[in-house]
Homo-oligomer: A and B are copies of this chain.
Amino acid sequence: MNALANGVGDIVRFENVGMRYRLGAEVLHDVSFSLPAGSFHFLTGPSGAGKSSLMRLMYLAHRPSRGSISMFGRDVSTVPRTELAALRRRIGVVFQDFRLIDHLSALDNVALPLRVAGAKEGQIRNHVAELLKWVGLESQIDDKPTTLSGGEQQRVAIARAVIARPQILLADEPTGNVDDDIAIRLMYLLEELNKIGTTVVVATHNESLIERFKHPCFHVEDGLLSGPGVGVRNDRDPGGDQ
C-alpha cells in the first residue's frame, strides 16, 4: 500500500479550499490536507460544523469556491465533464441520508454502481447477494428501501458504497441508525476494505467507535479543519495506520 503513500501518491489533496453554498457565507475556510492512499481517518465535529460539506467536495458533488482540490492526482477543476463520471466511479459514498432508490430492491440498489460501470449482469447477483448477507440483510435482498427499517436502509447504503471496490470510501455518519453490535460489524467491513487498499474517511458522532478503532481523527469546527497533517503540504501523512 505504501508504494503510493507519499506526496504524489495522495489520493485526496486540498489546498486552501473554501466552500460556500450558492451565495451564502463560507462554511469551510482555508482547508488544506491530504489523504495518502490506503489511509483510514475519522472526521468529527459538532453538528453543522461542515463534515458533510467537506465530504461533498471529495465526492465531486460541489465545486470549491476557492483553492484547489486534486483527486487521484488530478486537479478537479481541469477535469472535463465526461471524465468526472469516471472519477466518481472510483469513489464510494455512504450518504448521511442514505439516498437509496425507492423503487429498486435492495439488490438492485447495491448493484447500481456495477451496472453504471457496465459490469456483466451474470457476475452481479452473486456478488451483491454475498455482500448483503455480510451486512445482515440476506432475507431482505428483494425488499424495497421503503419497506426496510432505518438501520436496514443504512446497511444497504453502505453495501452500495463498497460493492465496486472504490479507491476511496467516504462514509457520512454510517452508523447513526444501527445498534453498537452492528456498528462494530460495519466498521470491520470498512477496515477490511481498507486492508486491501481502499482509502477510508468516516464522519461520525459516535465517540465509542472512535475510541475503539484507533484511527487518526480530523476535526472540523466553525468551518476550520484540524488534525493529522493538516496544513502540511507534500509531507507524508503520519496518520495512515496500514
Interface residue ranges, A against B (CB under 8 Å) = 21, 24, 44, 46-49, 51-52, 96-97, 136, 140, 147-152, 155, 172-173, 176-182, 205, 207-208
> Are A150's CB and B207's CB within 8 A?
no
Give the distance in Å from the alpha carbon of A136 to the alpha carbon of B150 in the complex: 25
> Are B205's CB and A177's CB within 8 A?
yes
> Are A96's CB and B48's CB within 8 A?
no
- On chain B, the residues within 8 Å of A155 by CB distance are 47
Give the distance in Å from the alpha carbon of A177 to the alpha carbon of B173 in the complex: 7
Given contacts A46-B151, A150-B176, 10 further A-B contacts (CB under 8 A): A47-B136, A47-B177, A48-B151, A48-B152, A52-B150, A150-B172, A150-B173, A173-B176, A173-B177, A176-B177
- On chain B, the residues within 8 Å of A176 by CB distance are 150, 173, 176-177
16 A-B contact pairs sorted by A residue (CB < 8 Å): A21-B147, A46-B151, A46-B181, A47-B149, A47-B152, A47-B182, A48-B151, A48-B152, A51-B149, A52-B149, A96-B150, A150-B172, A150-B173, A150-B176, A179-B207, A180-B207
> Are A47's CB and B179's CB within 8 A?
yes
CB-CB nearest in chain B for A51: B149
CB-CB nearest in chain B for A97: B150
A146 to chain B, nearest CB (A): 10
Give the distance in Å from the alpha carbon of A220 to the alpha carbon of B85 in the complex: 44
Give the distance in Å from the alpha carbon of A46 to the alpha carbon of B48 in the complex: 28
Give the distance in Å from the alpha carbon of A182 to the alpha carbon of B49 in the complex: 13
Most buried by B among A96, A97, A176: A176
CB-CB nearest in chain B for A46: B179
